[in-house]
Amino acid sequence: MGTEATDEDLAASWEASVGGDQSSADDAWDAALPSGGGGGGPPSDAPQSIAQQAVGSERILNQDEIDSLLGFSMDEENGAKKNGIRALINSALVSYERLPMLEVVFDRLVRLMTTSLRNFTSDNVEVSLDAIQSMRFGDYLNSIPLPAILAVFKAKQLDNYGLLTVDSNLIYSIVDVLLGGRRGTIAMRVEGRPYTTIERVLVTRLVEVILNDARKAFDPLTAVDFELDRIETNPRFAAIAQPANAAILVKLRIDMEDRGGRCELLLPYATLEPIRKMLLQNFMGEKFGRDNIWEGHLATELWSAPAALRVVLDEFMQPLGKMMNLQVGDTLVMNATPDSKAHLMAGDIHLTTGQVGRIGQKVAMRIEAPITQAAKKKILEAR
């Protein structure tokens, strides 16, 4: 009986030590050990000290801390900034902020499209810029909501391609407006069928209007002609870049009172690379940093700048020794005759030819040919 009581007392002391109750553990050890057991309290290497250290050092993370560490959140679909490990492994994150002039170009595109589409549809059209973001080309193809029409266009001066996507809502709205549909009625949508020839032709005209406005939007920066290459309905046939290539995506919203839809303009970074230096400049005013007053003043001063001209009758080669020994009265025989043409020179550049004569007491030259194109080119190169 004494042994059983002692075992029960030892078990109670162990439970008390695991629970972290130091005072109850000391009492349990005092009650369990005999009076001559060598001290009142647990030994220095008792198991309760190890258990207390394990319980005190362990800290369990809650779900919010785990999500923050991994970079997952419920509002990540709303454009929230990603962080943590998710930000490192997500291949869709590409920064476009190194090209600040793009926002200015696309804002200009929105203003131009508002005017052009009003003239195109004869309706009240409002164009708004929803978002400018960068993503991988393959991720964008996988995110296109079908059915849709994809227009592949080529930027001639940039020698690359771009993509313009028109969603089904905008397609049916444009068809309804251009064919005289009444306002306030919902466009009829027939799902599961390909687009008809009439729908494709009308959307092609819409795409041409948008591409023409895009050309005008880039004009203050650089001359770029966007030419429609083909119309596709399957994203697999609209692959204009590698899936891992980065691209700029511009989301536009077109509203025609109670009708409308979205169109998306995608430009790969490879297309914008030739004009990257221009896109890096800071925006100052509506003229992209150009000062028309200064340009006009500079042009006026250039036109009034003096230029030294020489009239050359003839040129010939002579030994240097003979020229050094010339005396007063020596005669140099030229190959020119009284009817030979003289050459008008500006420095080393030959401008034109003419006939030498006299007006009053002054020697004159009559110009008989316009300035050559080669001379104009050399003058421009010299500037």
Residue with tokens 């008809």, as numbered in its chain: 196
* Residue of 259, 254, 248 whose CA lies nearest to 172: 259
Superfamily name and number for 101-279: CheC-like (3.40.1550.10)
Distance CA 331, CA 333 (A): 6
Say what the pLDDT of residue 13 is: 61
Q: How many CB atoms lie within 10 A of CB 257?
A: 13
**SS3 letters across 280-305:** CCCCCCCCCCCCHHHHHHHHHHHHCC
Distance CA 281, CA 102 (A): 10
Distance CA 13, CA 25 (A): 5
* Residue of 291, 289, 267 whose CA lies nearest to 280: 289
User: Where does 307-382 sit in CATH, by number?
Assistant: 2.30.330.10
Per-residue pLDDT of the chain (383 residues; tens, 9 = 90+): 444 555 666 666 656 555 544 555 455 445 545 544 444 444 544 445 544 554 455 667 777 777 666 655 555 444 445 555 555 555 444 555 567 788 888 999 999 999 999 999 888 889 999 888 888 888 888 888 888 899 999 998 888 999 999 988 888 888 888 888 766 565 555 566 788 888 899 999 999 999 999 999 998 888 889 999 999 888 888 888 888 888 889 999 999 877 888 999 999 988 888 888 877 776 544 455 556 788 888 888 888 888 888 888 888 788 888 888 888 888 888 887 777 888 888 878 888 888 888 888 888 888 888 887 777 777 666 65
Say what the pLDDT of residue 36 is: 47
Task: Please indicate, yes or no, whether the overall pTM of this predicted structure exceeds 0.75.
Answer: no
The one-character DSSP state at 78 is G
Q: How many CB atoms lie within 10 A of CB 29?
A: 24
Distance CA 339, CA 342 (A): 9
Say what the pLDDT of residue 95 is: 53
Residues 200 and 149 sit within 8 Å (Cβ to Cβ):
yes
**Could you check whether the bond before residue 42 is cis, i.e. omega within 30 degrees of 0?**
no
